[in-house]
């Protein structure tokens, strides 16, 4: 009996302790936070593989990535559930909670069969550039067919919230900011300044003109890009100046130091291939926050912020280069500085920030081959020519394949309308040709995807991405490690984890430290923000709320 009473007392004590502990933990994350955040920052690092959070951590400081991981909540197994894994599709997916089959952004580009022209995701001939007279300003979000979480925020309070989108890439600024943004700004790499379009503004605000007058890109490009630390510190990279590196446009070598001052032609385009493009973007974001008085309203404001230089550098040098390692060390410092700026502007618990990526990136095929891994490249141009030659020889039909975009073949409907052959017969023949290629895992007729003998996971990603008016006719799934490209540099776009596994870290307002290894999806981000802000989720959202971070 005594033992039973002691046991009972112990259980009661344990229950009381655990309950009290849970209550204290909850109060620590909410009692010191306001009812709503002053500002939400959606920070997307273009082409950031999930493993970059940890791979270079020995050279990270304590106030950048490490602070986000230690003080924030990280979803370690965040996956993209669509293909292709490209910039426009990823940014749209993050902020709409939707899929290409619904939001319509099926790639950075797609082919329009009716006009027989390629369409760029944010092209809009009905608008004009603001701050620029060239074609780089003729952009808007009109090709996106659903709204974003930023639109829902503005709808929730009769458009009192301010929303601004910023990125070197037009698509990285425009698509996240949504339809009703107060402004979106992107980099004109012909003139070296921030611009917008008449979709948003009639003229640039005076503060943007003043920022452009600082000519920061010119200052950055007048100096060398040298490694931040001594060369011996870069133990997680290949040797510098590898033959499979493409380098910075306009530069004759691919090794450190990069003499940026020697690049005279198209120097602003080259500027994007330096880590200073990220610094420049964050400097502009700080100026936007100050001059637009973001977070100083009675309602929540939203800044969408995409860092593009990581993508340009990654494409040129690959994920195993000294350049990428140095870029992420510098980005760690830039993020630390930005967090400190937000702390001083709002207080540590008054802003909500999430960090994620639009996609990852593949290892360079030659690099993998040098380590006895299966990998390779192929040529879209050569594949199209071979298919068209073969179909002409067998069926006397010319130019059946018009275009290849997003690993999809677009077939010429005029050929079938005039010919005696059924399109299914031609499609089957083309698929047979493709499936014999050493770099192909599977090719199938997209409209007959339910019959395709492919894993359910890949089938689901393909279905998530099929939009009748914009998608192609035949989908090609390359083997792991294979991609369309040359021997130098690398790319992304496929279903594999190196492209589809992305970071997702929540930080700040009402976010308790922690992590989960449960699989969550890119499309879960927008509905989770909606739940945190008590607003409706975007109108095309299919994602689920990540309940672990909801207080």
Q: Rounded CA gap, 384 and 111, in Å?
A: 15
Gap between the Cα atoms of 136 and 127, Å rounded: 11
- Known active-site residue 87: yes
Whole-number Å distance between alpha carbons of 333 and 95: 26
Q: 139 to each of 95, 196, 269, 470, 529, how far by Cα in Å?
A: 18, 8, 18, 19, 27
Question: Which residue reads 């008449």 in tokens?
Answer: 198
Between strands 351-356 and 73-75, the pairing is unpaired
DSSP 31: T
Burial class (CB in 10 A: 0-12, 13-18, 19+), 459: middle
Let me know: does 186 contact 194? Beta carbons within 8 Å.
yes
Q: Which residues of 376-411 are buried (b: 16+ CB within 10 A; e: fewer)?
A: bbbeeeebbeebbeebeeebebeebbbbbbbbbbbb
Q: Which of 78, 87, 92, 122 is catalytic?
A: 87
Angle made by CA atoms 151, 152, 154, in degrees to the nearest 5: 65
| Total residues belonging to the chain | 551
Among residues 431, 444, 448, the alpha carbon closest in space to that of 391 is found at 431
Residue 474, beta-bridge partner list: 409, 445
Give me the active site residues, please: 87
């Amino acid at each position: 009996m005594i033992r039973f009473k002691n046991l009972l007392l112990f259980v009661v004590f344990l229950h009381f302790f655990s309950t009290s502990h849970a209550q204290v933990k909850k109060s620590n994350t909410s009692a010191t936070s306001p009812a709503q955040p002053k500002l939400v920052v959606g920070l997307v690092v273009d082409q950031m593989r999930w493993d970059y959070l940890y791979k270079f951590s020995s050279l990270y400081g304590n106030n950048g990535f490490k602070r986000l991981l230690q003080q924030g909540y990280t979803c370690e197994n965040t996956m993209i559930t669509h293909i292709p894994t490209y910039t426009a599709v990823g940014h749209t997916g993050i902020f709409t909670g939707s899929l290409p089959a619904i939001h319509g952004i099926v790639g950075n580009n797609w082919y329009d069969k009716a006009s027989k022209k390629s369409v760029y995701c944010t092209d809009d001939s009905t608008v004009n550039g603001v701050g620029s007279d060239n074609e780089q300003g003729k952009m808007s979000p009109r090709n996106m067919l659903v709204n974003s979480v930023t639109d829902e925020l503005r709808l929730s309070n009769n458009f009192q919230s301010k929303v601004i989108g910023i990125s070197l890439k037009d698509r990285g600024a425009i698509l996240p900011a949504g339809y009703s943004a107060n402004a979106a700004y992107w980099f004109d790499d012909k003139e070296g300044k921030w611009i917008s379009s008449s979709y948003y503004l009639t003229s640039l605000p005076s503060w943007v003109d003043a920022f452009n007058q600082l000519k920061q890109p010119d200052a950055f490009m007048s100096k060398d890009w040298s490694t931040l630390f001594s060369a011996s510190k870069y133990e997680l990279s290949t040797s510098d100046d590898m033959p499979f590196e493409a380098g910075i446009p306009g530069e004759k070598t691919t090794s450190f130091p990069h003499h940026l001052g020697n690049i005279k032609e198209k120097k602003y385009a080259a500027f994007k291939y330096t880590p200073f493009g990220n610094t420049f973007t964050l400097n502009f974001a700080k100026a936007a926050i100050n001059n637009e008085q973001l977070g100083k309203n009675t309602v929540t404001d939203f800044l969408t912020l995409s860092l593009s230089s990581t993508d340009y550098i990654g494409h040129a040098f690959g994920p195993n280069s000294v350049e990428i390692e140095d870029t992420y060390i510098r980005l760690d410092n830039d993020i630390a500085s930005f967090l400190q700026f937000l702390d001083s502007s709002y207080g540590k618990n008054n802003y909500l920030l999430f960090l994620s990526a639009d996609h990852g990136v593949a290892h360079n095929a030659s690099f993998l081959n040098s380590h006895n891994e299966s990998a390779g490249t192929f040529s879209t141009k050569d594949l199209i020519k071979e298919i068209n030659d073969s179909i002409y020889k067998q069926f006397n039909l010319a130019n059946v394949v018009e275009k290849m975009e997003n690993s999809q073949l677009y077939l010429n409907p005029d050929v079938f309308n005039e010919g005696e052959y059924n399109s299914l017969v031609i499609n089957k023949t083309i698929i047979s040709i493709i499936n014999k290629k050493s770099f192909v895992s599977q090719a199938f007729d997209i409209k007959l995807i339910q019959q395709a003998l492919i894993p359910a996971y890949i089938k689901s990603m393909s279905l998530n991405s099929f939009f009748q008016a914009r998608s192609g006719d035949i989908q090609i799934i390359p083997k792991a490690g294979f991609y369309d490209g040359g021997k130098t540099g690398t790319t992304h776009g496929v279903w594999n984890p190196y492209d589809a596994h992305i970071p997702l870290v929540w930080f700040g307002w009402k976010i308790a430290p922690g992590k989960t290894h449960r699989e969550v999806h890119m499309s879960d981000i927008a509905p989770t923000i909606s739940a945190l802000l008590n607003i409706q989720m975007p109108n095309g959202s299919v994602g689920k709320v990540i309940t672990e971070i909801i207080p």
